Chain A
Amino acid sequence: MDKHGPAVSRLVLLKHKASRRTDWAVVIATAVPAAFLGLFFFYPLGSILERGLTQDGGLDFPSDVFFSHETAQIVWFTVWQAVVSTVLTLLAGMPLAWATARVRFRGRGLTRALVVVPFVLPTVVVATAFLTLLPTGLQRGVVPILLAHVFFNIAIVVRVVGGYWSRLDPRLWDAAATLGASPARRFRELTLPALRPALSAAAALTFLFCFTSFGVVVILGGPTRLTLEAAIYDEAARAFDLRAAAALALIQLAAVAAIVTVSSRLEARAGLVAPLTSEQAAAHSPSHRERVALVASLFGGALLLGAPLAALAWRSIETPDGIGLTFYRALGRETPALLVPPWHAILNSLGYAAAATLIALTIGGLAASVIARRSAGWLDTAVMLPLGASAVMLGYGFVIGFDTAPLDFRGSFWIVPVVQSLVAAPFVVRLLAPALRAVDPRLREAAAVLGAPPARVRREIDLPLALRPLGVAAGLAFAIALGEFGATVFLARSDHPTLPVAIFRFLGRPGAENQGVAAALCVMLMAVTTAAVLATERLAARHGAL
């Protein structure tokens, strides 16, 4: 299977030679993300875990929490619902990933952008939309939880797998077809192995989101079904039992670390390195049969993703006096629910998300460049861990970790984008690392043999090849920052609410008007997300090498 055997071994030799000199670029690319994560993730999280687990100066080992029957139940539910959700999301996402990656049709770019919209909506809002759509008997339980998880995370599969798929050279498939391989065999023996890095990356990200699911589980599951994340929140923010919260948070972190380690191994061991090509060349006009499949997958996607979104949009125009724009006009008016006119939230969201995207691209990009080219498993795990950390514990960690000069920046602007970028950076890494690995090593090798120093190889080979996935990553990172709620609501100043925070404040007040303004703000969030994803993709497509 390993067609690159000789090339790779030669590369190893070359690398070996090169590594005698210190490659400062690599040192910096490792040190910057490591320092960032150390300061903004491990230090605050460590502070709050330490506060929870020490008693009178000594370690208070929470064995009672670790080994209780209740904890075991919570862990079991957390794991199995995440596994099932991930499998369902992959199954539901693959047809759309294929359609947006391989088939040329009108509205392809828009479809890609729209798929991301559910991903950024506040969980409270979506859970509510599900409540109104589902029949009474199905409103509570595991089924609505699974449905909502698919709804939210389908974007991950479509963008991560689709983004990768859209650059695989179709001539390999054509050749296989010419040689008589059936479509099923081509899928089994070419498509799946070739997509394996992207599939395992998407599966890992989806799993982490479902594993740490909070709002969806609390509302659609009812008070008897708890994930670890929800249990941690209850202990930390309600019962104020930091010890139990810290114990559960440790279990969650350990589980996440294990998952991440396994999945990045899987991702790095690509089954089949297929040659890459440009996106234009990878897509084709659909044949008759493919047209049927295309319509079916688009229709299915529209039904699953569109119905809850449409319900929300409908609520924003359904006023007590009939259909109208009353709630949109209210966006300009300051009310006691929010300290500023609601439209300010749009600007705040854009500002925070732009800053968070810059940070995430820098940190994630540097980390990916290291992870893709040498075994830096610890860095990979470290970047991914924030996705699996409890938002409330991290928030508390920021509050007690940064309370003294020179680290007292609890009220500063940057604290919000920094936290948002912690959640966005893993996506940047998961999108870029497989793409960088897939760069034909012979290209780098040839450049090196021709005398190009490592920096020039990176600048003239890796960077242009990475621009297209970088665009996808930027779009997703921006969307994640726009939608981040758990940590943002914890750290954003009340006079600088983001869109999800503003939505949450209006939802929490009674009366048709407040609920309507919340729905109107949701529509704004959808519009901003779609525009942002479209714009970043256009930019990257225009400037990318492939």
Chain B
Amino acid sequence: MKIAATLIAAVCMLAGAAYGAGSPSHSKRVVLVTHDSFAISKPVRAAFARQTGLELRLLQTGDAGAALNRALLTAGKPEGDVFFGVDNNLLTRALAGNMLVPYRPAALSAVDRRYDLDATHRLIPVDHGEVCLNYDKAWFTEHALAPPRSLDDLGRSAYRGLLVVENPATSTPGLAFMLATIAHYGENGWRAYWRKLRANKLLVTDGWEEAYEQRFSGAAGSKGNRPIVVSYASSPPAEVFFSGKKLAQAPTGVVLSSCFRQIEFAGVLRGASNPDGARKLIDFLLSPRFQADVPLSMFVFPVRRGVPLPAVFTQFAPAVPHPLELPARTIGANRDRWIREWTSTVLR
């Protein structure tokens, strides 16, 4: 018994020591509060430490919505220095919550103007991506059916029972896709469209993970039986990249006319314990080094002009020339009502 107690105590102390190790003082580290999908490759993280002398620490606090809500809850007494992961669909909520302070990085001039949506410079654009319908190429070949070309196609009887979408109340791609239908069909037509989708037996899941990895037939290793899913324009290159093989063609395709633009922003948290480090981190997020890393770490596109894309992107990610868009202000003013209307149209 004594041996056991000693052992347990030793394990605890070791764990505590390992945890404490590498805990520099507040001015030596900068804490990035972000969502679960944030990713950064090791060399880039090391480059930040080399350039600034600061240790980058991450705090991932849930999906994009949950992470933002937690940051709003701690506004003024934040858990870190910088927040990353507000998208254009939640932009107004973040700004209204008074959780950020303005900072205009010099590198903003290298960013395409259309991504810069906050004139107060509390939210700085970092990456963008397009939420699009993806389809399973092999399934459509096998069933001798043409893949869908437009949103309208999904309401046709030939595509009955083929679509899986995420719930816009619980998932950011789900929200983006709902907004795409509103942008396309307008305030007066979008609900009728969803009624058609419902009659055409669409499947709704809580999150992207279940929709794409479990229900969609085109994901590697999936046992799903639905060949159309709401995902990203960058999902085909991700399938190729993670397949572990050299593929000549992506196994999945994108319905270009269904795409809705998502832009992700970062900002300095009000009350940050290391505001100076926070500004350096924002600078770094816009640096060529980090911008070149986002395609393969997070499968999104850089906002900085002239950043080279990796081959798997240039080869397999389709360019989306004219994504559907809605002004952030319109989204902010109507989002909650739209979600309620969607719920009563599709789920009740």
Which A residues are closer than 8 A to B by beta carbons? Answer: 51, 124, 128, 131-132, 136, 218-219, 222-224, 234, 236-240, 242, 315, 318-321, 326, 334, 336-337, 339, 347-348, 350-352, 354-355, 357-358, 392, 396, 399-400, 403-404, 410-411, 413, 489-490, 493-496, 504-505, 507-516, 539, 543
**CB contact between A513 and one of B74, B204, B242 (< 8 Å): that residue:** B242
Across the interface, which residues of A come within 8 angstroms of B20, CB to CB? Answer: 413
Known A136-B225, A413-B20: A510·B238 in contact at CB below 8 Å: yes
**CB contact between B12 and one of A132, A351, A505, A509 (< 8 Å): that residue:** A351
**CB contact between B170 and one of A234, A240, A495 (< 8 Å): that residue:** A234
Known A223-B170, A223-B347, A495-B57: A355·B220 in contact at CB below 8 Å: no
| Interchain Cβ contacts under 8 Å between A and B, 28 examples | A124-B209, A128-B214, A131-B223, A219-B206, A219-B210, A223-B204, A237-B62, A237-B65, A242-B73, A326-B244, A351-B15, A358-B9, A396-B70, A399-B74, A400-B73, A404-B77, A489-B62, A493-B59, A494-B59, A509-B242, A510-B219, A510-B235, A511-B239, A512-B243, A513-B242, A513-B243, A514-B242, A539-B4
Interface contact B57-A351, CB-CB below 8 Å: no
Interface residue stretch chosen among B32-40, B180-188, B284-292, B318-326: B32-40
**CB contact between A337 and one of B39, B66, B69 (< 8 Å): that residue:** B39
Across the interface, which residues of A come within 8 angstroms of B213, CB to CB? Answer: 128, 507, 510, 515
Q: Which residue in chain B gives the minimum CB-CB distance to A319? A: B244
CB distance from A288 to the nearest CB of B (A): 40
CB distance from B146 to the nearest CB of A (A): 25
Known A399-B79, A403-B77: A336·B39 in contact at CB below 8 Å: yes
Interface contact A508-B37, CB-CB below 8 Å: yes
Across the interface, which residues of B come within 8 angstroms of A132, CB to CB? Answer: 214, 223
Which B residues are closer than 8 A to A by beta carbons? Answer: 1, 4, 8-9, 11-12, 14-16, 18-20, 36-37, 39-42, 45, 57-63, 65-66, 69-70, 72-74, 77, 79, 93, 167, 169-170, 204-206, 208-210, 212-214, 219-221, 223, 225, 235, 238-239, 241-245, 296-299, 336, 347-348
Interface contact A510-B15, CB-CB below 8 Å: no
Interface contact A516-B214, CB-CB below 8 Å: no
Interface contact A320-B243, CB-CB below 8 Å: yes
How many angstroms between the C-alpha atoms of A354 and B36 in the bound complex?
Answer: 26
Given contacts A358-B8, A543-B1, 9 further A-B contacts (CB under 8 A): A224-B347, A237-B69, A237-B70, A238-B66, A337-B39, A508-B37, A513-B242, A514-B242, A539-B4
Interface contact A508-B209, CB-CB below 8 Å: yes
Across the interface, which residues of B come within 8 angstroms of A352, CB to CB? Answer: 15
Across the interface, which residues of A come within 8 angstroms of B243, CB to CB? Answer: 320, 511-513
Q: Which residue in chain B gives the minimum CB-CB distance to A515? A: B221
Across the interface, which residues of B come within 8 angstroms of A219, CB to CB? Answer: 205-206, 210
Across the interface, which residues of A come within 8 angstroms of B36, CB to CB? Answer: 504-505, 508
Across the interface, which residues of A come within 8 angstroms of B16, CB to CB? Answer: 351, 355, 413
Known A336-B297, A396-B70, A413-B19: A223·B206 in contact at CB below 8 Å: yes
Q: Which residue in chain A gives the minimum CB-CB distance to B210? A: A219
Across the interface, which residues of A come within 8 angstroms of B58, CB to CB? Answer: 339, 493-495
Q: Which residue in chain B gives the minimum CB-CB distance to A219? A: B210
**CB contact between A516 and one of B167, B208, B221, B297 (< 8 Å): that residue:** B221
How many angstroms between the C-alpha atoms of A339 and B9 in the bound complex?
Answer: 27
How many angstroms between the C-alpha atoms of A399 and B72 in the bound complex?
Answer: 11
Q: Which residue in chain B gives the minimum CB-CB distance to A361? A: B8
CB distance from A90 to the nearest CB of B (A): 29
Across the interface, which residues of A come within 8 angstroms of B61, CB to CB? Answer: 490
Known A320-B245, A326-B244, A511-B241: A354·B12 in contact at CB below 8 Å: yes
Interface contact A240-B12, CB-CB below 8 Å: no
CB distance from A322 to the nearest CB of B (A): 12
Q: Which residue in chain B gives the minimum CB-CB distance to A349? A: B15
Q: Which residue in chain B gives the minimum CB-CB distance to A510? A: B238
Q: Which residue in chain B gives the minimum CB-CB distance to A334? A: B42
How many angstroms between the C-alpha atoms of A489 and B299 in the bound complex?
Answer: 23
Q: Which residue in chain A gives the minimum CB-CB distance to B37? A: A508
Across the interface, which residues of B come within 8 angstroms of A396, CB to CB? Answer: 70, 73
How many angstroms between the C-alpha atoms of A409 and B223 in the bound complex?
Answer: 44
**CB contact between B221 and one of A350, A392, A512 (< 8 Å): that residue:** A512
CB distance from B223 to the nearest CB of A (A): 5
**CB contact between B62 and one of A239, A350, A490, A495 (< 8 Å): that residue:** A490
Across the interface, which residues of A come within 8 angstroms of B348, CB to CB? Answer: 224
CB distance from A300 to the nearest CB of B (A): 25
How many angstroms between the C-alpha atoms of A508 and B278 in the bound complex?
Answer: 27
Q: Which residue in chain A gives the minimum CB-CB distance to B222? A: A515
CB distance from B91 to the nearest CB of A (A): 14
Across the interface, which residues of B come within 8 angstroms of A357, CB to CB? Answer: 8
CB distance from B25 to the nearest CB of A (A): 13
Across the interface, which residues of B come within 8 angstroms of A320, CB to CB? Answer: 220, 243-245
